Amino acid sequence: MGGGASKDLDNKYIIAADAGKLDEVCMLLQKGADAQAINENRRSAIMLAAMKGHVDVVREIISALEKRKGFGGRDLPALFEAALGGHSATMLLLLEHLPAGNIQAKDLTRCGCTCLHLAASKGRNETVDVLIQMAETLVRVKNGKPKINSGASLVRIKAF
């Protein structure tokens, strides 16, 4: 975040994303809010929107980040927040846009928690079902033997 005016714009953007105010998020991004801005708790706008299941806001932030080539592996915490909150549609949107190399279990080993574990721990059965179905569809058979596609490790993604 830059100077006072920029910081104020970024703070308004983060608050709007957290509240799910799509029109305000769009307007603030157009005015120059930093799509990667974080609040005093080190939470980004995309994390806060994902945490509350504001799928349209998440979609807009992803678009803004992709335009700036700024969406990627460091946005994985938003995926964990969506899983924890049981927001399957938001989680699927994030997975659709995350680069495949950034969603492999081997890349994320700081904590034993996984998206599946987070969702199950909160009784988010629909989200658990979505993760299991995704893993099943990502298993491919090669020479008669099951081969796990690199994306199949989505169920084993390690949290930060």
Give whole-number Cα distances, 87 to 80, 108, 118, in Å.
10, 21, 12
Average pLDDT on 20-42 reads 94
pLDDT digits (tens, 9 = 90+) for 93-144: 887 777 654 444 433 334 556 777 777 888 888 888 887 776 655 444 444 4
Query: CB-based contacts of 76: which residues, under 8 Å, 6+ apart?
Result: 98, 102, 103, 108, 157, 160
What's 104's DSSP letter?
-
Domains of the chain in sequence order: 1-71 (1.25.40.20)
Angstrom distance (rounded) from CA 147 to CA 138: 9
Q: Is residue 54 over pLDDT 50?
A: yes
Which pLDDT does position 107 carry in this prediction? 33
Angle, CA of 138, 63 and 26, to the nearest 5°: 140
pLDDT band at 157 (very low <50, low <70, confident <90, very high): very low
Lowest model confidence (mean pLDDT) among 64-73, 75-84, 102-111: 102-111
**46-59 per-residue burial string, b: 16 or more CB within 10 A, e: under 16:** bbbbbbbbbbebbb
pLDDT digits (tens, 9 = 90+) for 26-35: 999 999 999 9
Which pLDDT does position 76 carry in this prediction? 72
Angstrom distance (rounded) from CA 56 to CA 89: 10
